[in-house]
A and B are shown apart, each in its own frame.
Chain A
Amino acid sequence: MADQIVLDVQHLQKKFGKFQALKDINLQVRQGEVVGFIGPNGAGKSTTIRTILGMLKADGGVVKVFGEDAWSQAVQIHQRLAYVPGDVYLWPNFTGGQTIDLLLKMSKQQHSAKTDELIKKFELDPTKKNQTYSKGNRQKIALIAALSCDVDFYIFDEPTSGLDPLNEIIFQAEVVRLKDEGKAILLSSHILSEVEKMGDTIAIIRQGTIIESGSLDEMRHLTRTNVNVSSTGELSTLKDLSGVHQFKLIDDSKNKAEFSVDSDALQAVMQVLTDKGITNIQVAPPTLEDLFMRYYGDTDVEPEVNKHVQ
Chain B
Amino acid sequence: MFNNLFAQSGRLLRINLKRDRFKMLTWIVVIIGLMIGYASKIGVIYSSQSSVNALMVTLRSPAMIAVLGYVPANVKMTEAILFSSEMLVFMGLFYALASLLLSVNVTRGDEEQGLTELVQAKGVGRQATLMAAFLESVVFNLVMFVLLGVGLQLANMTGSNTNGNWLTAALLSGVGLLFGTSGILTAQVTAEARTASTYTIGLLGLSYLVRMMIDVQNPDYNWWSPLGWIERGAVYYDNNWLPVVYIILAIIVILGAAIFLSARRDVGAGLIATRAGKATSRFLRGPLTTLIKVDAKGFWSWFFGAIIMGLMYGSIFNSITDVLKSNKFMEQMFSDAMKNKASDALLLQFLSTLSVVFVLIGTVRGIVLVNKLDGDAKKGYLEQFLAKPVSRVRIFWTYVGYALVNALMAFAAGIGGLYAGNIAVMGNHPLALKYFTRLFAGYSVTIAVMIALAAVVIAFAPKLKSIAMIYTGVAFVVMYFRSIFKLKDWMVELVPYGWMRDIPVKEIDGTVLLGLLVVAVVLLVVAASGFQRRDQIMN
Please report A residues at the B interface, Cβ cutoff 8 Å: 16, 50, 53-57, 74-76, 78-79, 81, 83, 85, 87-98, 101-103, 105-108, 111, 125-129, 131-132
Q: Which residues of B376-409 are within 8 A (CB) of A? A: 379-381, 383-392
Q: Please determine whether A101 and B284 come into contact, CB atoms closer than 8 angstroms.
A: yes
Q: List B contacts of A57 (CB < 8 A).
A: 533-535
- When the two chains form the complex, which single residue of A56, A79, A81, A97 contacts B279, counting CB atoms closer than 8 Å? A97
- When the two chains form the complex, which single residue of A96, A98, A107, A111 contacts B388, counting CB atoms closer than 8 Å? A107
Give the distance in Å from the alpha carbon of A100 to the alpha carbon of B386 in the complex. Answer: 16
Interface segment, one of B166-174, B216-224, B285-293, B519-527: B285-293
Give the distance in Å from the alpha carbon of A305 to the alpha carbon of B535 in the complex. Answer: 32
Other A-B contacts than A74-B391, A106-B286, A125-B276, 12 sampled, CB-CB below 8 A, are A74-B386, A90-B381, A91-B290, A95-B276, A95-B281, A98-B281, A105-B285, A105-B286, A106-B390, A129-B276, A129-B277, A131-B191
Q: List B contacts of A97 (CB < 8 A).
A: 278-280
Give the distance in Å from the alpha carbon of A198 to the alpha carbon of B460 in the complex. Answer: 42
Q: List A contacts of B281 (CB < 8 A).
A: 94-95, 98, 101-102
CB distance from B461 to the nearest CB of A (A): 13
CB distance from A52 to the nearest CB of B (A): 10
Q: Please determine whether A95 and B279 come into contact, CB atoms closer than 8 angstroms.
A: yes
Contact A50 to B286, CB < 8 A, known contacts A97-B278, A98-B280, A127-B278: no
Q: Please determine whether A127 and B536 come into contact, CB atoms closer than 8 angstroms.
A: no
Q: Which residues of B483-539 are within 8 A (CB) of A? A: 533-537, 539
Q: Please determine whether A103 and B389 come into contact, CB atoms closer than 8 angstroms.
A: no
Q: Please determine whether B536 and A56 come into contact, CB atoms closer than 8 angstroms.
A: yes
Q: Please determine whether A78 and B279 come into contact, CB atoms closer than 8 angstroms.
A: no
In this complex, the member of B191, B192, B277, B381 whose beta carbon has the largest number of chain A beta carbons within 10 angstroms is B277
Q: List B contacts of A87 (CB < 8 A).
A: 380
Q: List A contacts of B286 (CB < 8 A).
A: 105-106
Give the distance in Å from the alpha carbon of A97 to the alpha carbon of B277 in the complex. Answer: 9
Contact A102 to B284, CB < 8 A, known contacts A56-B537, A127-B277: yes
Sorted nearest first, the 8 A-B pairs with minimum C-beta distance are: A97-B279, A89-B380, A126-B279, A106-B388, A83-B387, A78-B389, A98-B281, A95-B277
CB distance from B265 to the nearest CB of A (A): 15
- When the two chains form the complex, which single residue of A55, A125, A129 contacts B536, counting CB atoms closer than 8 Å? A55
Q: List B contacts of A131 (CB < 8 A).
A: 191, 274
Residue of B nearest to A14 (CB): B535
In this complex, the member of A95, A106, A125 whose beta carbon has the largest number of chain B beta carbons within 10 angstroms is A106
- When the two chains form the complex, which single residue of B192, B280, B380 contacts A92, counting CB atoms closer than 8 Å? B192
Give the distance in Å from the alpha carbon of A218 to the alpha carbon of B192 in the complex. Answer: 52
Contact A91 to B275, CB < 8 A, known contacts A75-B389, A105-B284, A106-B390: no
Give the distance in Å from the alpha carbon of A91 to the alpha carbon of B384 in the complex. Answer: 10
- When the two chains form the complex, which single residue of B191, B276, B287, B293 contacts A128, counting CB atoms closer than 8 Å? B276
Q: Please determine whether B294 and A127 come into contact, CB atoms closer than 8 angstroms.
A: no
Please report B residues at the A interface, Cβ cutoff 8 Å: 191-192, 274-281, 284-287, 290, 293-294, 379-381, 383-392, 533-537, 539
- When the two chains form the complex, which single residue of A85, A88, A106 contacts B389, counting CB atoms closer than 8 Å? A106
Q: Please determine whether B389 and A76 come into contact, CB atoms closer than 8 angstroms.
A: yes
Q: Please determine whether A55 and B535 come into contact, CB atoms closer than 8 angstroms.
A: yes
Residue of A nearest to B276 (CB): A127
Q: List A contacts of B539 (CB < 8 A).
A: 16
Q: Please determine whether A85 and B387 come into contact, CB atoms closer than 8 angstroms.
A: yes
Give the distance in Å from the alpha carbon of A108 to the alpha carbon of B286 in the complex. Answer: 10
Q: Please determine whether B537 and A94 come into contact, CB atoms closer than 8 angstroms.
A: no
Residue of B nearest to A85 (CB): B383
Contact A129 to B280, CB < 8 A, known contacts A53-B386, A53-B387, A87-B380: no
Q: Please determine whether B275 and A129 come into contact, CB atoms closer than 8 angstroms.
A: yes
Give the distance in Å from the alpha carbon of A129 to the alpha carbon of B392 in the complex. Answer: 28
Contact A94 to B278, CB < 8 A, known contacts A55-B536, A56-B535, A79-B389: no
Q: List A contacts of B287 (CB < 8 A).
A: 106
Residue of A nearest to B379 (CB): A89
Q: List A contacts of B279 (CB < 8 A).
A: 95-98, 126-127
Q: Please determine whether B389 and A55 come into contact, CB atoms closer than 8 angstroms.
A: no
Give the distance in Å from the alpha carbon of A96 to the alpha carbon of B284 in the complex. Answer: 13
Give the distance in Å from the alpha carbon of A268 to the alpha carbon of B73 in the complex. Answer: 108
Q: Please determine whether A50 and B277 come into contact, CB atoms closer than 8 angstroms.
A: no
- When the two chains form the complex, which single residue of A53, A102, A126 contacts B285, counting CB atoms closer than 8 Å? A102
Give the distance in Å from the alpha carbon of A265 to the alpha carbon of B538 in the complex. Answer: 49
Q: List A contacts of B192 (CB < 8 A).
A: 92
Q: List A contacts of B391 (CB < 8 A).
A: 74-75
Give the distance in Å from the alpha carbon of A16 to the alpha carbon of B533 in the complex. Answer: 15
Give the distance in Å from the alpha carbon of A239 to the alpha carbon of B346 in the complex. Answer: 101
The 17 listed contacts between A and B (C-beta, < 8 Å) are: A55-B387, A57-B533, A74-B392, A79-B389, A89-B384, A91-B293, A91-B381, A93-B294, A94-B281, A94-B284, A95-B281, A101-B281, A106-B385, A106-B390, A107-B388, A111-B280, A127-B278
CB distance from A250 to the nearest CB of B (A): 40
Residue of A nearest to B392 (CB): A74
Give the distance in Å from the alpha carbon of A105 to the alpha carbon of B286 in the complex. Answer: 7
Q: Please determine whether B274 and A108 come into contact, CB atoms closer than 8 angstroms.
A: no
Q: Please determine whether A85 and B380 come into contact, CB atoms closer than 8 angstroms.
A: yes
Give the distance in Å from the alpha carbon of A59 to the alpha carbon of B92 in the complex. Answer: 50
Give the distance in Å from the alpha carbon of A125 to the alpha carbon of B533 in the complex. Answer: 40
CB distance from A157 to the nearest CB of B (A): 10
Q: Please determine whether B274 and A78 come into contact, CB atoms closer than 8 angstroms.
A: no
Give the distance in Å from the alpha carbon of A263 to the alpha carbon of B539 in the complex. Answer: 44
Give the distance in Å from the alpha carbon of A103 to the alpha carbon of B277 in the complex. Answer: 18
CB distance from A158 to the nearest CB of B (A): 14
In this complex, the member of B281, B379, B388 whose beta carbon has the largest number of chain A beta carbons within 10 angstroms is B388
CB distance from A76 to the nearest CB of B (A): 7
Residue of A nearest to B539 (CB): A16
CB distance from A16 to the nearest CB of B (A): 8
